[in-house]
């Protein structure tokens, strides 16, 4: 992030614009929405700016800019449509201590003005760091259509009611009240009777929420998918937005964690096979501890929580503590992996079933039905198989598997640094050497048109 987005308090503060033409007017149209004291410094100005000065909406200084003109200014805009003059006035403003923006010159600007969706006091700012103004305008147009004109009124009336709503306990109870207001009772009341109905609606809604018994803590087991945040389900996103506590595994990507509510307590409960781990009993205890404190917990698991996620143990812990829970499934790593190589897990006349197996369990390497897996045409998705690859190879070949059986290893499935390695059972242990990311081994599958498909897939996930 090259530019840090902030909302600057402008009430009563100076903002200076150097320039009196169309470029200056364009900035003034936006700045006039603030509560700042605006000054325009220019030798010549167009009639529209003169009219604004005559109306008392800005101070007009009819001369070229001089040292001291930007003293005590919070922001300064160089908008002369003349590079030489804009360079000169920018230097003067910076010497006066103002943050400067040189219109249409990203390189020499200390700040940039984003595209803005205005539903005062609700404001959405959209920036692309100057890389794609067309994209920013497109996002702005989309949001303009989505956000109702009444949103500003709802927010303004709600803001005045905030001190009254503090009668509710901070946290989930208060969030539930405001959620009901902004997404249910408030819009319905406004549509039916306008702004005058909102105060009564808030009073009634508050009494309703104060009369509710305290909500119990609960747990939502959420599948985080293989890594790409766009593969999260809508239900999973909603759970992350509502969570008080998020307990996550080490394979959950940072991009997915970014979707959690900012105020949520984030707890890393990562486990690594044959390596440093948080004990499962400690994770169970953490879940119960926070649930008994009344929190909504999201237990975030990579892929689908029902596949090799030790979900039963955590559900048993919840049941023993009388903690309610629910499960939101996710896209499995196996599904993402086969999609990335242009294959399917089942195919007519090849295999009518597929096995999900793990390379190791709590006691070490996991035993499987090796005789069945070694049969021609079998397909298996092997989780946690990097360190057990030689063991898997040995067991399969011992039971008659062909050494030339195709194998594909997909590292970091669905992520930007994903890669697929096509190999055979004979060379499987060598193929996993050096892999550092999570890898899934697809036994019995080879990449389909690997180079062409991989290029297309990478282009798609980059969008």
Catalytic residues: 249, 271
Spatial distance between the Cα atoms of 420 and 284, rounded to a whole number of angstroms: 35
- The structure tokens listed for 93 are 């403003």
Q: Give the orientation angle of helix 151-165 with respect to helix 186-193, to 10 degrees.
A: 120
Q: Distance of CA 31 to CAs 24, 28, 86, Å? A: 10, 5, 19
With beta carbons less than 8 A apart as the criterion, state whether 260 and 243 touch: yes
With beta carbons less than 8 A apart as the criterion, state whether 189 and 225 touch: no
Spatial distance between the Cα atoms of 459 and 448, rounded to a whole number of angstroms: 17
Spatial distance between the Cα atoms of 398 and 289, rounded to a whole number of angstroms: 48
The H or E element that residue 430 is part of is helix 428-431
With beta carbons less than 8 A apart as the criterion, state whether 271 and 193 touch: no
For 19-89, strand residue ranges (E) read: 37-41, 59-61, 73-78
Question: What is the phi/psi pair of residue 82, to 5°?
Answer: -145, 115
Q: Distance of CA 345 to CAs 38, 367, 386, 444, Å? A: 65, 22, 20, 10
For 249-379, strand residue ranges (E) read: 265-268, 296-301, 325-328, 355-358, 360-361, 364-365
Spatial distance between the Cα atoms of 184 and 161, rounded to a whole number of angstroms: 17
The H or E element that residue 157 is part of is helix 151-165
Spatial distance between the Cα atoms of 124 and 131, rounded to a whole number of angstroms: 19
Which of these, 160, 169, 230, 238, lies nearest to 202 by C-alpha position?
Answer: 160
């Amino acid at each position: 992030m090259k530019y840090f987005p902030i909302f600057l308090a402008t009430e009563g503060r100076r903002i200076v614009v150097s320039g009196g033409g169309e470029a200056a007017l364009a900035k003034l149209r936006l700045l006039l929405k603030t509560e700042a004291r605006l000054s325009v410094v220019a030798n010549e100005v167009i009639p529209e700016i003169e009219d604004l000065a005559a109306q008392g909406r800005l101070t007009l200084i009819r001369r070229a800019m001089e040292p001291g003109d930007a003293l005590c200014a919070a922001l300064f805009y160089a908008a002369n449509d003349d590079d030489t003059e804009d360079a000169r006035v920018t230097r003067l403003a910076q010497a006066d201590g103002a943050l400067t923006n040189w219109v249409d010159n990203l390189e020499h600007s200390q700040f940039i003005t984003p595209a803005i969706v205005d539903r005062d006091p609700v404001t959405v700012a959209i920036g692309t760091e100057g890389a794609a103004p067309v994209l920013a305008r497109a996002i702005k147009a989309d949001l303009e259509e989505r956000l109702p004109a009444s949103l500003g009124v709802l927010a303004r009336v709600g803001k005045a009611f905030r001190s009254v709503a503090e009668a509710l306990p901070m946290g989930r109870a208060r969030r539930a009240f405001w959620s009901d207001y902004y997404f249910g009772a408030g819009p319905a009341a406004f549509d039916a009777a306008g702004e005058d109905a909102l105060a009564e609606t808030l009073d009634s809604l508050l009494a309703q929420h104060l009369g509710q018994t305290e909500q119990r803590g609960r747990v939502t087991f959420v599948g985080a998918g293989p890594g790409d945040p766009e593969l999260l389900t809508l239900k999973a996103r909603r759970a992350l937005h509502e969570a008080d506590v998020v307990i996550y595994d080490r394979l959950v990507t940072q991009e997915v964690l970014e979707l959690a509510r900012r105020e949520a307590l984030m707890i890393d409960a990562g486990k690594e096979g044959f390596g440093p781990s948080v004990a499962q009993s400690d994770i169970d205890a953490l879940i119960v501890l926070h649930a008994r404190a009344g929190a909504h917990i999201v237990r975030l698991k990579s892929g689908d929580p029902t596949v090799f996620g030790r979900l039963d143990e955590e559900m048993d812990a919840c049941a023993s503590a009388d903690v309610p829970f629910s499960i939101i499934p996710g896209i499995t790593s196996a599904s993402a992996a086969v999609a990335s190589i242009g294959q399917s897990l089942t195919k007519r006349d090849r295999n009518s079933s597929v096995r999900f197996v793990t390379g190791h369990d709590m006691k070490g390497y996991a035993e499987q039905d090796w005789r069945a897996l070694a049969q021609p045409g079998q397909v298996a998705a092997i989780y946690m198989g990097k360190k057990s690859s030689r063991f898997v190879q040995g067991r399969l070949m011992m039971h008659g598997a062909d050494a030339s059986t195709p194998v594909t290893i997909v590292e970091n499935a669905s992520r930007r640094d994903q890669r697929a390695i096509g190999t055979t059972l004979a060379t499987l242990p060598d193929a996993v050497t050096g892999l550092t990311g999570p890898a899934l081994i697809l036994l019995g599958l080879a990449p389909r048109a690997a180079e062409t498909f991989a290029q297309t897939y990478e282009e798609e996930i980059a969008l």
